[in-house]
Structure 1
Amino acid sequence: MKKKISLVLSIILAFTFFSFLNPTSVRAKNLNDTTENSAKFGTQLLQPENGWKRYDDTNSYFQYNGESWVAAEDGGGYEGSYHVAKTAGDKVLFKFYGTRFRIITNINKDRINDDTNQVKIDGTVASNFNEYSESSIYKALVFESLPLSLGYHTVEIEVNGLFVFDAIDIDEKGELKPYVDSITLDKSSISLVTGKSEPLIATVKPDNTTNKEIEWSSSDKGIAEYKDGKVVASKKIGTATITAKVKGTDLKVTCEINVTEDKSRSILAITMVNGITKEYDVSPDEISAFEKWFDSSNGKGQVRYGFNKKINPYKTVKEYVVFDKIASFEIRSYEADK
């Protein structure tokens, strides 16, 4: 009996010694309770393997093209959801930075049993795959790309009918990016006088992208900035650059703004009811202020309006006109340096 116990202890000690000398012979387990990075097609991956990170189907950077796509809540899906398409030709598109990706989905026997789901990478057909399985498996690995050059890549998955899209895994150095091709402006340059504005429109392609949020910035807000769809010139003369950038991407475009002094002036000729005409040399802003006062008065607002005049040797002179004494007025515009 003692010999048997001694023999068992010797075996245990020998195994422990061998494992100590060869630590890789007993491999660690990952979150999927499988040997690390041992996943095969059709394998359930509850979580991404070492060296990968996962993006759920609900991420706004995925672009779903086709009318049959619906979002489904299901506890079997990764983070409790997945997207389902029922029509051949529908697509899911995404863009990522990295070297490789995996497609995670639900496989089942209600899918078409042939490799007609197509994957295009950077516009070229890379491979085909299917989601058919005799048993239903959630969070299953169905596709893995070949190694790609480190950089930005676009992916298009065209489905052959009933299809479930649950998530993708990207190599840990990579990142999912908004699916946007380009951004353009309707003008490359704008010339404005101080205080004026002009519309500037940005267009993001493709038209059906879900990410159209644009971040606007100015190289010098003291000269010009972007507000409510317009470039607004300040009172400072000079040049500035307006930049439109698609949020979350490196895509951007610029417009050069040149702001000059507003040299336009006007002679405001006001004819009073007694036949006397008064003339004032004023700026466009004062013309606007006078018109606003005149339209809003009519007994409801201020009954008088004042004009600043220069008369030597006085420091300030202000002349007023009274609303109900005005018969008519005339505006004659000109440029001060002409």
Structure 2
Amino acid sequence: MAIVGEQLLQPEAGWQRIDNIDNNFKYIGLWKKDTSSGLYNNTGMFIQENATIEEVNSSYITFAFYGSKIRIFHTRYASHSSNMKCIIDDIEYENYNIHGETIRQYLAFDKINLEKKIHLVKIKSDDGVRFDFDCIDIDEDGYMIDLIETKLTKKSTLDSMKIGDIIPCRYTVPISGKVGYFSELGSCNCEGIDVDTSSDTPDGKFYFIKVDDNKFISDRNVQASISWNELNKNKLTCKMLSPTSLVFNGKSSYVSIPIEKIRTTKEITIKIRVYLEDWTVGAEHRFFSCTQLGGYACCYVPKDRYFRIEIATNHPNSPTLYFISGFNIDSSNNGWKTFYILYNGESVKIYDEITLKLNEKRNGTIIYGSTNHLVLGGEAGGGFSVESGTRLTGKISEFAIWDKAIEPETIENNLTGNEENLICLFKSTNAIGDTLYDLSPTKNNATIFNCIKEYDNSNKYHYTIPSGGIAYNDDITISFPKKALKSNEDYNYIIKESGVLNAKYFGYLAFNKTTVNEDDCWHSPMDNNPYITISSKKEKIISSGFRLTNRNCPSSIMPPATCIVYGSNDNEEFEKIHETSSFPTTNRATSYHYFDSQVEYLHYKFSFIGVGTSVAIGELELFKEYEYKNTSSSLINKNQGGWPIENDWDKYIRNSDLKGKIIVGDNDIWNYRNMISLCKEKVITGLKDINNENLDTPSGNVLIPVRGKIEAIDDLSAKRFNICLSSSVAKNIGFRPMLITEVGEQHG
């Protein structure tokens, strides 16, 4: 049995290993990917080398799992922490050490004999020294849990949900830049879509959160690199449903599947879910077949109630190429039926649902001859092409192949594509255009010919995206300067700078409310640590943040790289209030910087480090938030959210606690800090972007609001608002769906 302090390259019996790339691990803070040799699967995560003590202390890993035991693996390293802490279900366990000579896959912590249930885990440094993370081991029958399931109640139907409940859903995008399809609402159990990066072609789980009687908003962006224009082709209110089935109308319709990747000669299991409106009529329905000599085929003859299977084998005593057999099905029930066909090299079994209907001996391996395609709705082997013979007049919703004989009771009804031995999985939900996408690891996509996609239009809901406001919210007031300053000192204030580049760049020019030209700024001399102070002669200045505008000089902007804000009431001892390095570098660009809470001081000191050899400040303003928030619109970004404030983003994501179930604006629920979400409406004319500039709108474009990550603002709350062109496509901009039911359910 492994002990703490040793290297363990593989999980022991009774354990399974979960790698750091699992989407259920949530990394908070300054994390980077590691691909060093010796890590498990050569992947890891680490806090960057230049991180400050404060940045390390605010960086941690959190996740949830179901099980009764856990082992945590790091890299032991000379610059890593000797005082690590693991917190499980709010219980802090004894600190552990990962400082020392380098050892990869280092078993640093374990805890057994936990209650077998869902556990919430947090890993952090307790001494301000950085650390890495490689993987964990948990029970072999345990599993990872999405963190949102530890905070909100999961339901399987919309009707059963109350405000603050969640429901899983699957979203699939086979073609980058195009709208995908939703499926498995309430039943999805596949791997989740990454909350911090999303994907251009996602195929995974997310959650709708009920926010109002008839509104459900996604907990994340489900797709990146898609434009508002592309979403708007569906009018942003389309049903965007997945096809429930493919309809075959006889000789002209079929699906052609390349067989090279799915040839299996020793064992095979085939599953097909098929629909006939009336199982008692018709000449013959061909469910599937190989197009040339060899392979296998399946058909149904209604007049005989006979389900027939044909398999070409190398049986030495067979007078013909094919083993042919079948059974009479119960045709008293029309509609959908599921069949399983198993061959293990010694016998053939056929199941109707889970009822065994045929079990006959047959030895040999499957032979294919010149077969190169498997066809749904096509002709049997024997040299015939897909253009002749009988066809299927019915529907298919699912077709799957395994390279092993597997009894149907062990096959999940809700196949995801990750099942062992699965080599082919086609679901009608993944039929887009003329392509039927294979969900199995082979990705052996098929081509659809003349099949009609059928949709379930009985669902009383549609998909859209949240509204985010049509203008900026004018929800702050300037606390300093209330009027434009004309000198470094007047009856109310004193401005003192560390120095000036020359006699025309005095400190008060950063507080005169203009940036008309390159001289209209405070410009420091070449100094490693320039600063400027504000001193009030009368009242304390209330502030919850500051707004900084760069110099108006395209050829020599000289913006700050870092700013530390201090406050004092005696002008001798200064308390650090805030530190930021989130500054834009373009001409006249404006950035907003928020303190954690409102403060009051007589003296403020702004200490800078420049991008270049000195710093130039066009405008510097302290602000506070309105007390009553009776808002009006603004053309200029003040980082107070969208206007009008009754938009979906501000009402639900930013300001709702979901009836006391979450903290308002909780990023662990809404996942907005690293992704920008497109919003529904167009913005009003004249709105400026984050840099206080107008965007040109080429033909075919409009300006639309986006919410979430904004680079030029270091405030990490959900209030962030910007604009972009409707044609914009980027890795960090994407689609956050909202579901709206036609009739609101009164469930909380």
**Which has a greater percent of strand?**
1
TM-score, normalisation: structure 2:
0.22
**Which has a greater percent of helix?**
1
TM-score, normalisation: structure 1:
0.47
